[in-house]
Amino acid sequence: MSGFVTVARLSDVPENTLLPIEANGVKLVLARSGGRVHALHDQCSHEEFPLSDGELDGNQVTCLLHGARFDLETGAARALPAVKPVRVYECRVAGDEIQVNLD
């Protein structure tokens, strides 16, 4: 069990940006929007393409390959061609550290 691990500093993820990271062999994308940091599996559920290459628009990330969109809170697919969600990881900020629960 991994539990929460520090994966980045808050300063590494400015507002309205995406940051690809790898923690304990898990590829994640950190998204900072509305003052909150979110962590999602860094792969579109429609095609094997990194969401970190996409665009952040409010509470959604858009995959650059085909335009699928995913909710940052739930991982739910919000636009075709994706119909399956992406995994969302519990994320917290402790001081300047961004921590993700990998369990």
DSSP, collapsed to helix, strand or coil, labels residue 41 as strand
pLDDT digit string, tens, across residues 8-66: 999 999 999 999 999 999 999 999 999 999 999 999 999 989 999 999 999 999 999 99
**Token pair recorded at residue 68:** 């699928």
Across the beta sheet with 36-41, what order do the strands follow?
A: 17-23, 26-33, 36-41, 88-89
CATH superfamily of 4-101: Rieske [2Fe-2S] iron-sulphur domain (2.102.10.10)
Q: Where are the domains of the chain?
A: 4-101
Q: What is the DSSP letter of 67?
A: -
From CA 80, how far away is CA 4, in angstroms rounded? 32
Output the furthest CA–CA distance in the chain (Å, rounded). 38
pLDDT of residue 6: 97
